[in-house]
Amino acid sequence: MLDKIGIAKRIAQEIKNNYYVNLGIGIPTLVANYIPEGINVVLQSENGLLGMGPFPIEGEEDPDLINAGKQTITTLPGSSIFDSAMSFGMIRSQKVDLTILGAMEVSENGDIANWKIPGKMVKGMGGAMDLVASAKNIIVAMQHVNKAGESKLLPQCSLPLTGVKCVKKIVTELAVLEIATDGGFRLLERAPGVTIDEIKKATAGKLIIEGDIPEMKI
């Protein structure tokens, strides 16, 4: 199985040259450290930054430079800082090519729940609703099962939704999957050493398996 860094490394392979990419809180923020060499990409943070770099070296952090998750970050030459109105204008006008988000649950038709567990205090949905409503392409970085061992890839989400029929692809510690046009999780790759049976047991939603499933290359 992959750890969080492994998931981030695999998702980084989905980034294409000249993409504008938004990284959500959690595992997605790690992707900034693993952009493939030779790829020109501009990372956007919805709190008002274009040109986000990798995480700073310990001891070199600037507390005035943070991402949407309040983590200290770096900027790259040519980066730009602006207000939230400008940032969300970029998002809502579909200027962002790829959004990478964490999730608590994803349904087999591409619904995502990633902002609230009923009964627990949260500050709000943040920018997630705008991102899932506007992004051209959404990839989810998540654990396949929760702490109780229950699947997070479901026929239907049980938690409050963030967006409907918006997720295109999911990368977990076990597998890479895409949402099929007619519903279901189509298995594309399996993590090194992970069997098809392990993925079946961890997936509560409809799992589509076609032909031989290759191992991920990290």
The contacts of residue 84 (CB under 8 Å, 6+ apart) are: 46, 47, 48
100: β partners = 23, 139
Q: Please give the torsion angle defined by the CA atoms of residues 98, 203, 154 and 140, in that order, rounded to the nearest 10 degrees.
A: -10
Determine the Cα–Cα distance for residues 176 and 7; give it in Å rounded to an integer: 9
With 0-12 / 13-18 / 19 or more C-beta atoms within 10 angstroms meaning exposed / middle / buried, residue 193 is exposed
Among 14, 37, 46, 105, the one annotated catalytic: 46
Task: Decide if 46 is catalytic.
Answer: yes
Bridge partners of 107? 154
* CA–CA separation, 7 and 82 (whole Å): 30
What positions carry a catalytic annotation? 46
